[in-house]
Each structure stands twice: as structure tokens, then as C-alpha cells.
Structure 1
Amino acid sequence: MSDTSNPSVGPSMVRFARLSQRGLLLGLSASRVACIAVAAAAVTIAVFATGPMGVAVSGPVWASLLALAFIRRGGRPIVELLPTAAHFVIRQVMGQHRFRTHPSRPRPVGTMALPGDGAALRLLVDEVTGAAVVHDPHEATLTVVAHVDHAAYLLLSPEEQRRRITGWSRVLAGLAASGQTVRMQVLERVCPDSGDGIVGWWQQARAEPTTDGVTWAADEYETLLDTYTPSAATHNSLVAIAVKAHGGVLRGRAGKGLDRLRQEMASLEASLRTADLRLVGWLDEDRLATTIRTAYDPKTRGRHEQRLGSAGPVAIDEDWDWIRHDSGYSSVLWVSEWPRTDVPVDFLHGLVFQPGITRALSITATPLSARQAIRDIRRAKVEHVTDAAQRARIGAIADLADAAELDDVLDRERALLAGHADLKFTGLITLTAMSLEELEDAVAQVERAAIQCGCETRRLQGQQARAFTAAALPLARPIH
């Protein structure tokens, strides 16, 4: 992502790099090339063996292979979906697409009642800060969650907006420069609200008008409430950071990893103040348990869970492109393309403030080391040069998209050489409804809103359970 803002003219603008479409040959992935090669080999053998009649007889074979290579489903060629589909079918045969709690078999103390990969997570409580610390023994990370409050960005002046943008960029740069943060997740949870709270406050706080000016202002405010109360929503902003757990975990203590985690927490708290973001507090076990429980059971919103050991789902059924959990149905969308042209920094406004939909917008930033970033840039440049040479050899016309993609790679290299941190961003949108019909309507609305924001979304297929854990829960979990 590059910042093309001009402090003296207009609002701040940003531009994102294109999603790389490089492949093994002419932009085709290795699996697609293999399908085409096998199809060509089948046709060649048939021609030399039995002539045109053999080509016709072997038609179902090579035609199926070509269909796998070129027909798309959900924005991806079918052949690239086969590994995911095979894994999904295997899990269905083994019964791993379903999860049920067993009251007769209580979970051990210190564990989290989550399905799938989340079952390995452990809970620690930092005695110094009181924060709930989630330990992943497989990835060797410690994760804490911060509740952040902030002013309405759209109501700020352009100068104040630019200052907030600069402050937030320093937050990201600080976490990336420390070398200890594995991932940072920003989770914006939005739940439709009846608006009774603000209406009740206005009815109690309104004073008797004394002048025409006061009467006019009160009438205008009541008109505003009548117009926008039906689309009111409750927003909750959470920031989760996952830090390397050096020294392992022994007897509930994380060794040096917990000390480093406290340092990262202090650094994040200081940088949030610089960005004019108020840290409400680090989530303790009670508040983290409530957050997880309401994600799985939306009907429990407003209630408080006491222990993480009982905050997980009671039942889960996973389908190809949706998941049923307790009292709701959810589906996870991946932001496959960010805006390719200059857009204001508040371009996600249409997604965040889409009315009447329970959703969670998760943006995960993964810092890349300088060595890894340079290696990725070199590989992308080699792939581009090789692809250009292959196109020139067969006389194919070069696309402007290829040139734009190369420019994005060069811009990334210039930024890296200038000393900027390199971050990999992943955007996921979790939509939740009470029925499948409502869920499909919500998916359609959000997909339209994403297009208006300049983004492209894909509904994840065959991995909804894992995606839900990564996108709806503030645990800074990876998704592969």
C-alpha cells in the first residue's frame, strides 16, 4: 500500500498494490499447466494410436482436464479448489465438520473450549496487568487483546484526519520494527441496535426551550433521531497482538515471552496515545470470554461470561460456504482485491456502516522481515521477467495489468530501501444472521457495498470453520 496524500490539497489518498497473478507459465498456476499438459498428451497419444476416432473417444478425458483448468467457481479455477474440496470431504467422512460439547467430559483448567485448531490454545492471566493471555503452543505465540475507543473519523477536520493517519501508521511501524510481533489484528464488530439508549438519553436530557434557536435545534435533532435510529448499531473496536513466546510456558508462566509481551503492550499503549486512540483496557478473562461467547451465540449479547473454559460454542455444523453455530449462521468473505486506484483513507465506510447486518471486519497485518521481503520482491521480479520472455517468444501481447503489477513491485522495493516496514494485510468479513435466508441477503448486500468501496470479495469455500475463528474472534489467528 502506498500513501499518495498531499498535506496541502484535498483529503488523504491511498493506493493498494494489485493481487499478484504470476504463475508457472503465462500466468497459469502449476496445477493448471499440469492439466493442460496431460490433456495435450492424451490428445497426442490418441491421434497417433487410432487417429481422429481416438480423439473423439478420449474426448471426455481431455475435455474434463481442460474444464478443470479453465472453468472457474467462486473466482478460482476448479483444479485449484480440488485440494480444499478433498480436505473438506475427508473431514466430513471423519465427522470433523461437526463439533459438540460434552458436559460429562469437562475441559481441563486453563484450556479454551474452541473447535478445530483453536482447541490447542491455552489461557494465562498476567499477574501484573490482569490481561488474559492466549498461548498457542504450536505456533509459540502469546496474544493479548486491547479494547480501543476513538472519535468519529468523518467528523474530524482534514488536518486532524491527516494527523490521525500519521499516528496510526506509526503504530504499525512500531510493531513491525520491534521484531517481536508476529501478527496484529484489528477487529471492528458491528451489531444492529434498537437505538433505545440514545433516544432515552435525549428524552431525559432535553431541556425546555427558551428561544427559537433552541427549539429549532431540538426539532432538527429529533428529526435526525427519527431518521437514523432504525439503522443504529453498536461498534466495538478491538486490537489483538501476537508476540513470540520465547522460553516456552512452564507452570503457567511464559518465561521471557511474558516479559517481552508486557514491553509490546506498553509500546502499543504509548503509540495509541500518540495516535489519539484511547485504550479502554486490556481484556481480562471475563471480557474476552464474553466477546468469544457472543460471537458464537449472538442471542447472549448483553450477558457476561465468567470463564473462557465455557465460552466456546455448544454446537457447530460446517457446510461448504457457511457455518452454523449455536443460535446463528455465519459466512466469511475474503477481501481478494483492495482498491487499485487512489481512494480516500475512509474508503471502507460503506462496509463498516452498512445498516441492519451483524458483522465483523477483521484486518490482520503480518510484519515481514527485510530479508523475507527482499526475497519475495526478487521472486516476483524474476517471475515477471520470465513471463514477459515467454509471451514475447510466442508472440503474445503484453497486458497493461502486467506492467501495473511490476510497478507495484518496484514501489514496494523502493519503500523497503527507504527504511519503511513491510506488512502483509489480510481482510476478512464475517456476516452473521439468524437464518440461511437472512445470511444470503446479508452476503449479497455486503458484496455490493464492497464493490462500491472499490474492493472485491470472495466467499471462502471449504474452510469456513477455520476462517470464522480467524475472522470473528480477536485472537490474531492465521488463516492458510
Structure 2
Amino acid sequence: MSDNPQAEVTTATVKFPHRSRRGILLGLTAPQLIVVSLTGLLLLAVILARGVVGALELIPLWAGIALLVFVRYRGRALADWAPIVTRYALRRMRGQLIWLCRPSRRPVREGLLHLPGTAASLRVVSAPDRRYGAVHDPHTGTLTAVVKVSSRAYALLDPGTQNANVNGWGRALAALARTGQVARIQVIERTVPDSGDALRRYWEEHGQPDAPVAGQVYSELIQSAGPAAAPHEAYVAISLDAKAARRLINQAGGGLTGSFSVLAQLASTFD
């Protein structure tokens, strides 16, 4: 064993081979061959139209094309850099230069809704994390999710609290409208029949049946009105416009994965 343990610990290094310079024809790559072919056709057209003198007048152009084909920069010919620079410019214009994260799983298409007409193409899709689902309409480019909302009994609140709740609801709608990414918002309310068992259990656990007057009155009221109780449930349906939110969807991963990410941010307004 060595007396100097630090001398035995060395940093692992990796050596990469040189870039292959094998071309398709005569050592030229595909972009170089395309430039050479187009240049040959252009030279032939110039000679046929204006003769050799016309071709000699374009010597600066031929020199520039030769530099584009044979001059190399960082192991690549300038002609090889052209498609790379073009793709980079297109991705920059589309805002696709930022990679946020890699989704662990993709959305799952659960099936189609059996509806008549064009609505038959509506698809039920689950989010990548399986926490919620949505309805995807490929024709209109929308993704719709339904959020269940609830609040305390509005009619029993004082006027100040009622006004505060109304203002809060208005601010939530205004925040969604300002994004410009929502195609439609729908408020749904339904009445669900109830046997009154939950109301009676709540009274038995938290009520005071032994109260002198109120206990007897409440007990009689629950016994008579309990079976006729009809709880109200409220929902808000939010439709994401994929065309309007294209930039954010692309930044979030694109496709349904990015759409679910943007839709989750919109739905969080009602948290």
C-alpha cells in the first residue's frame, strides 16, 4: 500500500474521438453537395445566357461560394453550419430555447364520448400525474376541466361578507380573462337529492337536543324537513384555448402535457 493515499485518487477523464469527416461524395457532406450542385446549375445558366464573360464577372460570387463550401469553423464547413443556424433561429422565434422539465409520464386518453355529430370526437384525457382529467376537443383546440367550488351559506351571511364574496368572485373571473388563454368559462349548479341522514347525524353529534326550547324545535324541523333536503353543488368549467396559449404550452413541454400544465395554473385560481 502507498503511504500517500491522495496520490492514488485521480480524476476520471474521458477522451472523445475526432469528428468524422467522411462525406457522401468526394468527402463532401450533404449541405456541401447541395451548395455545389446549385452553384453548378447557376454557372451553367450564366454561361448559356451571357457566355464565359458573364461567368467571369461573377468571380466574387464564386469565391464566396467556395469559402462557404471549403472553409471550416470548429470542425464544420460553413455550409454545414447553415441548417444548424436556421433551426436555432426558428426555435428562438417560437420561444423553444428554454427546457423546463421532462414530464415523468404522458397524458392518457381514456376514451371517446359517444355523442352525435362533431361532438363525437371529444376525448376524455387524464393528466400525467393522474390527479385530474379533462375533455379534449381536437376540432376547436380546447381542453376543458371542471372544478368543484363551494362556500358558506350565502343567504345567511351579513351584507359586508356577501359583498366581499361577490368581489372575490369578480376578481377571479377578471384574472382568468386577463390571461387571454381561456376560450370559455361555464358555471354549473345542480341539486342532489338527499335522504337527510347526514343532517341527522350532524345534529346528533354536534347539536344540543337537551336545550329547553331550541333543541325540541330543531329536532322536529330535522325530522320533517330532513328527507326533503336538496344540497346544491357548484362547478366551474374552464376551457383552455390551445392556440392562444401556444407559447406557454410549448414552454411547458408541448402537446397535451403542456396544455395540462397551463390548465392547472388556470384552475388554481379557484383554490
Normalising by structure 2, we get a TM-score of 0.50
Cross-structure match for 1:120 = 121
State how far apart, in whole Å, the 1-side matches of 2:205 and 2:165 are. Answer: 34
Task: Please report the RMSD computed on the Cα atoms of aligned residues, expressed in angstroms.
Answer: 2.8
Mapped contact 1:175–1:181 kept (Cα < 8 A): yes
Deviation of 1:244 after TM superposition, in Å, equals 1.4
Deviation of 1:195 after TM superposition, in Å, equals 1.4
Cross-structure match for 1:188 = 189
Higher strand fraction: Structure 1 or Structure 2?
1
State how far apart, in whole Å, the 2-side matches of 1:254 and 1:186 are. Answer: 30
Cross-structure match for 2:47 = none
Deviation of 1:174 after TM superposition, in Å, equals 1.2
Mapped contact 1:133–1:144 kept (Cα < 8 A): yes
Change (3 A) 1:236 1:192: same
Deviation of 1:140 after TM superposition, in Å, equals 0.8
Cross-structure match for 2:149 = 148
Secondary structure of the residue that 1:215 maps to in structure 2? coil
Aligned amino acid, residue 172 of structure 1:
L
Deviation of 1:163 after TM superposition, in Å, equals 0.6
Change (3 A) 1:180 1:206: closer
Aligned amino acid, residue 224 of structure 1:
L
Report the number of matched residues: 156
Structure 1 alignment gaps of length 5 or more: 1-107, 248-252, 274-480
State how far apart, in whole Å, the 2-side matches of 1:190 and 1:254 are. Answer: 39
State how far apart, in whole Å, the 2-side matches of 1:240 and 1:119 are. Answer: 19
Deviation of 1:217 after TM superposition, in Å, equals 2.1
Mapped contact 2:192–2:230 kept (Cα < 8 A): yes
State how far apart, in whole Å, the 2-side matches of 1:229 and 1:116 are. Answer: 43
Aligned amino acid, residue 221 of structure 2:
L
Structure showing greater relative contact order (alpha-carbon pairs closer than 8 Å, 6 or more residues apart) = 1
Output aligned runs, 1:256-275, within 5 Å: 258-269=257-268, 271-273=269-271
State how far apart, in whole Å, the 1-side matches of 2:256 and 2:126 are. Answer: 13
Change (3 A) 1:208 1:169: closer
Task: Confirm whether residue 224 of structure 1 aligns to residue 221 of structure 2.
Answer: yes
Mapped contact 1:171–1:268 kept (Cα < 8 A): no
Structure 2 alignment gaps of length 5 or more: 1-108, 247-251
Output aligned runs, 1:312-391, within 5 Å: none
Deviation of 1:115 after TM superposition, in Å, equals 3.8
Secondary structure of the residue that 1:168 maps to in structure 2? helix
Mapped contact 2:183–2:239 kept (Cα < 8 A): yes
Change (3 A) 1:208 1:112: closer
Aligned amino acid, residue 138 of structure 1:
H
Output aligned runs, 1:275-294, within 5 Å: none
Mapped contact 2:110–2:123 kept (Cα < 8 A): no
Change (3 A) 1:260 1:223: same
Task: Confirm whether residue 175 of structure 1 aligns to residue 205 of structure 2.
Answer: no
Secondary structure of the residue that 2:111 maps to in structure 1? coil
State how far apart, in whole Å, the 2-side matches of 1:121 and 1:208 are. Answer: 52
Mapped contact 2:128–2:257 kept (Cα < 8 A): no
Deviation of 1:132 after TM superposition, in Å, equals 0.6
State how far apart, in whole Å, the 2-side matches of 1:265 and 1:133 are. Answer: 11
Change (3 A) 1:237 1:180: same
Change (3 A) 1:260 1:179: farther
Deviation of 1:264 after TM superposition, in Å, equals 4.3
Mapped contact 2:147–2:235 kept (Cα < 8 A): yes
Deviation of 1:259 after TM superposition, in Å, equals 2.8
Between structure 1 and structure 2, the one with the greater Rg is 2
State how far apart, in whole Å, the 2-side matches of 1:239 and 1:245 are. Answer: 19
Output aligned runs, 1:410-421, within 5 Å: none
Mapped contact 1:245–1:258 kept (Cα < 8 A): no
Deviation of 1:226 after TM superposition, in Å, equals 3.8
Cross-structure match for 1:202 = 203
Identity of aligned residues (%): 35
Mapped contact 1:245–1:254 kept (Cα < 8 A): no
Aligned amino acid, residue 231 of structure 1:
A
Cross-structure match for 1:131 = 132
Q: Deviations over 1:170-220 (max 9, x none)?
A: 1111111111100011111112322122124324555563xxxx2222112
Deviation of 1:112 after TM superposition, in Å, equals 2.4
Mapped contact 1:144–1:242 kept (Cα < 8 A): yes
Cross-structure match for 1:377 = none
